[in-house]
Amino acid sequence: MPQVLDPIPSGGSDSILCCYVNATSQIQIARITNVPNWYFERVVFPGQRLLFEAVSTAQLEIHTGMIASAILSDTVPCSSLMVNEEGDEEPFPQSLGLVDVSA
């Protein structure tokens, strides 16, 4: 069960369970900013999986930490991060196209 610190606004009846994996060697900030009256921001360490609940229209922004700043490195629709229901063979509907900005 995901940790729900900031529950989805009451109008968000189309909530989905999502999983994001930080496949880089850098700390990232995962943030959703396009859902009114809801604040979602989490630190995701290298190799960590982040399970969270969001509305299907949400966009997950990935900010990669640099020295004294963070760069927006990717924006991913939460619908593409949706976790399949139990019993499915694949844990995720598609491969996550992550950007490694360490180069």
pLDDT digits (tens, 9 = 90+) for 50-83: 999 999 899 999 999 777 777 888 989 999 999 9
Range(s) of the domain holding residue 66 = 19-80
- Tell me the whole-structure pTM to 2 decimals: 0.71
- What are the residue ranges of helices labelled H in 24-93? none
2 in any annotated domain: no
Distance CA 89, CA 77 (A): 22
The answer as to whether 99 is a domain residue is no
At CA 75, angle to CA 9 and CA 91, rounded to 5? 80
Q: What is the dihedral of CA 36, 38, 39, 41, to 10 degrees?
A: -100
User: Is the residue at 8 inside a domain?
Assistant: no
What is the per-residue pLDDT for 3? 53
